[in-house]
Amino acid sequence: MEQEGKLKKQKAGIVQIEALLKESMLDLKEAKQIVDIADRATYLLAYNAMLKAGRALLLWHGYRPDDGAQHKTVVELTAALLGDQFKTLTQHFESMRRKRNEMTYEAGTLLSKTEVRQSFDDAVTLVQEIYASVKAKDPQLKLNFDV
């Protein structure tokens, strides 16, 4: 992906990575508060939480997206870095990316309650996994994941 111009090497400190993870957790906390009353907002917050955690994962590995399709690049590399064990989860991240795009640029995109709930649950799982992955390599990272 680096040779294709999709990624650029970037050194990042744990402070940057921690900030993105904190933001993703905040998005999840807010989504949890509105999950039963605001489908679109819950879905968008869940997606944003996944995106921020994915960006943290890329930074942890020394990269940042560097193309016109940054969201897609984050999703693709998150899937590659987490591996086949999380294939279903990262496939859902990709479908959420496409639906978020539809919701942003087109009118009339439909969301079911089941889809919103599943998106929130998957966002929690993905953020937890990325946090655990970073924490395993840097035990000093201490965030309160209480979603």
Residue 46 domain-assigned?
A: yes
Residue 2 domain-assigned?
A: no
The per-residue DSSP string of 86-97 comes to GHHHHHHHHHHH
Range of the domain at 74: 7-137
Residue 61 domain-assigned?
A: yes
Residue 140 has what pLDDT? Answer: 76
15 class by beta-carbon count within 10 Å (0-12 exposed, 13-18 middle, 19+ buried): exposed
| Buried/exposed code over 102-121 (b: 16+ C-beta within 10 A; e: otherwise) | ebeeeeeeeeeeebbbebbe
Contact by Cβ (8 Å): 104, 47: no
Q: Among 10-24, 55-69, 72-86, 108-122, whose mean pLDDT is lowest?
A: 55-69
Residue 115 has what pLDDT? Answer: 95
What's the pTM value of the predicted model, to 2 decimals?
0.91
Residue 40 domain-assigned?
A: yes
Share of the chain above pLDDT 90, in %: 67
pLDDT greater than 80 at residue 7: no
Residue 143 domain-assigned?
A: no
pLDDT greater than 90 at residue 135: no
Residue 144 has what pLDDT? Answer: 74
The per-residue DSSP string of 52-64 comes to HHHHHHHHHTTEE
Place 71 in a pLDDT band, splitting at 50, 70 and 90.
confident
Domain count across the chain: 1
pLDDT (tens digit, 9 = 90+) per residue, 35-70?
999 999 999 999 999 999 999 999 999 988 876 678
Residue 52 domain-assigned?
A: yes
CATH number at residue 130: 1.20.120.330
Residue 144 domain-assigned?
A: no
Q: What is the mean pLDDT of the chain?
A: 90
Residue 20 has what pLDDT? Answer: 95
Mean pLDDT throughout 114-134?
95
Residue 147 domain-assigned?
A: no
pLDDT greater than 90 at residue 79: yes
